[in-house]
A and B are shown apart, each in its own frame.
Chain A
Amino acid sequence: MNKYNDNFTDGFLPLEIIEREKERPLSVTEASRTVKRYVHDEIGTLSVLGEISSARPNSSGHVYFDLKDSNATIGAVVWRSYTSTLKHVRDGALVVATGTFDIYEKTGKLTFIVTSIKEAGEGGVKKKLEERKRYYESLGWFDPSIKKRLPDTISSIAIVTSATGAVIHDMLDVTGRRAPSIKITLYPSPVQGENAGEIIAARIRQANAQGGYDVIIVARGGGSQEDLMPYSTDPVVQAIHESQTPVISAVGHESDWSLSDYVADVRAGTPSIAAELVTATMLKRREAFRTIIESINSAMNYKTNIATMRLKSSGDIETLLRRKAENMYNSVAMAGQGLDSFMAIKRDAARGKLSTLKVEIKANAEAIFGNTKMKFSSVSKELEALSPYAVLSRGYSMVTDHNGKVVKNALDVKGGDHIRIKTGAGDFGAVVEI
């Protein structure tokens, strides 16, 4: 306890004293009461726009709740006597609350004591929608930072939409074409009308409770702003916001919008686009799979081609060898031919020589023969000259005895002998006379 407590019994210290006594630490009570006085007196009555959440009546009839926006929370209370204000306290309501701030000493908690509540947002559908949008935006429910990523692998999806009509038809068509392996569970719901929002929200919650889905698609075809209204209702927005499973909002056409588009983790322009989104990974996988298979096949082909080429090139060696062998054979043949022609030349030359020789021999022989002939004829002439018949022809006669013996001496004959006288031309007999 300090001396000032005696002077200022309620514990509140005017700022001048705090300023003057800077060095002195305040007691907790002093600090609390000083702040309390300033909060209450200086700030006074305020109006705050926010969303009511965590409303909790206590046993004494007062209702405690939180006022929130995207960044801050204020604890608030409506005393039980403010009955007309109390009825506005419901979770999720966007309100303008008017009151004063106070600090509860025991806990140090700042509380907004609300004396009147006005529902925020009035007017036409569009205005209401805009206001609701601003409200949820202020809660941070549209923040990109809180959006869940679609899982890489999507193998099971829940679709909340009508069981009849073009939407489910188109979606099944797209998913079937691109990724037939994805399991699809249809959560049927009305897509317009009074209770549609609540049923859609319940289906989203039901799918979450059921679990096992990689993504929930909330889908609807195009329609008027009023037709699309269920997708902008509080239950749907809240169900999507609270969904543990990522939600894709695929409501209406590309140009339409609903609050489900903003609060969902992903907005798809149309249900078919949503179907494309959830099948993208599977399609990519199929493509990756096909590409890798193609690549493996071509790599293997290349390998086997190389191997085959090696085999072929060993075949080439064979061919080469065969060719070499052929060349060698040809060379031998050519050599043979060369030899033949060489021999032919030699032979011809020999023949030539031979014929020359023959001619020479012939010539020589003829020469020899001719000389001989000539010699022979001169010898014959000599012989002829020596012949007795040649003498006879010159007028001489030859006498032979009866024995034919030439009579060379007259004494060799006696009278009466018959002799033969041979002249150059004929002969005749005669008788010797003595």
Chain B
Amino acid sequence: MVATAQVRRSSPTYLVLLLVLLLQGITACATQPQRDDWLYQSLGGQVGIERLVNRFLHRVADDERIVHYFYGIDISRLEQKFAEYLAMVAGGPEPYLGEQPGFVHRGYHITEAAFNAVVEDLLDAMAELGIPLAARNELIARLAPLQPHILGTDP
């Protein structure tokens, strides 16, 4: 990318350009497909999501930053429920029958750094499985609003 015309204080061209870009970004965000199942398909459907959760949990098990949060947890149940949850978030057909994420994590005193470590493990697992970048980003975008609930900092 290369800056083009010379900047003139008197000319608002750059300002207008920037505002247009800002609006485009916001519009693109607002018009993102929401109800269809493209993300679910990109993640490989139910089978792909189960494989993703499995790879993710292997990474968590090796992650000294966060593994202690999982001591004493029924991992096979977690594996099943997390896959169900991701499938629902991704627009899959199966219902999620577990508890709300905020409730499940109550009392664990999860730090911001621990939450981000989970995000990184999930991103790494998705990359390992060759999931396209746009799908990885979209899944993170859909999970991100959970952060205050998981941390217990939501109002």
A complexed with B: no
Binding site for B on A (CB under 8 A): none
